Amino acid sequence: MQVRINIDGGSRGNPGPGAAAYVICDMQHTIVAQEGYFMPHCTNNQAEYTALKLALIKAGELGAKELFIESDSLLLVKQFLGEYKIKNPDLQARMQVIRRLAESFTIHIKHVLREFNKAPDALANKAMDAKESLGYNPIMHLPEDNEILTKNTSKPNTVNGVEVTKVVRKSAPKKSSAQPSLFDEF
């Protein structure tokens, strides 16, 4: 299943009270889930990263396999794509969780201007105003980061979608260091 996802995060005070929001639509632009997640104390970047994490968790609950994600945070998009380094240790840890969640999807992510990302922005602001999380079809189980990082550790080693195993080679026959006799066959 393919879905369209718009994400946004914000903080009043940076750091201060904030919220992360996602809006997930089917390919016909019908909203299937949206949530504004209130964060009592965070930075803008922490809220943006949390929005992506929450969207991935909900997309998994919905059974989606291919995600078309839009964010107005150029920093988040470039860091997710590996085009910008992540220097902040907290954001590095958050990205590690996001990358683990992203393993089970085909992801297309792009930066959009704020004017094209109004729905999650409005939802994040509503959550900040209410000082509580709100939404439609929210995440049923919000796992802790350590639960995400330890999940699927028995996953087989795959490259290009094919399981690879250690190569075991037969040892070559031992060669005798003794000189063969020229008269053994007579």
Domain membership of residue 156 (yes or no) is yes
Number of domains in the chain: 1
Q: List pLDDT tens digits, range 102-137.
A: 999 999 999 999 999 999 999 999 999 999 999 999
Q: List pLDDT tens digits, range 83-105.
A: 999 999 999 999 999 999 999 99
Domain membership of residue 171 (yes or no) is no
Residue 118 belongs to what domain range? 2-163
Domain membership of residue 175 (yes or no) is no
How buried is 161 (Cβ within 10 angstroms: 0-12 exposed, 13-18 middle, 19+ buried)? Answer: exposed
User: How far is the C-alpha of 55 from the C-alpha of 24, rounded, in Å?
Assistant: 8
Domain membership of residue 62 (yes or no) is yes
CB contact at 8 A, 71 and 111: yes
In which residue are the tokens 């439609």 written? 136
Domain membership of residue 180 (yes or no) is no
pTM: 0.80
Domain membership of residue 185 (yes or no) is no
Domain holding 28: CATH number?
3.30.420.10
Which of 2, 3, 7 has the alpha carbon at shortest distance from 112? 7
Domain membership of residue 186 (yes or no) is no
Q: List pLDDT tens digits, range 1-57.
A: 999 999 999 999 999 999 999 999 999 999 999 999 999 999 999 999 999 999 999
Domain membership of residue 61 (yes or no) is yes
Residue 156 pLDDT > 60: no
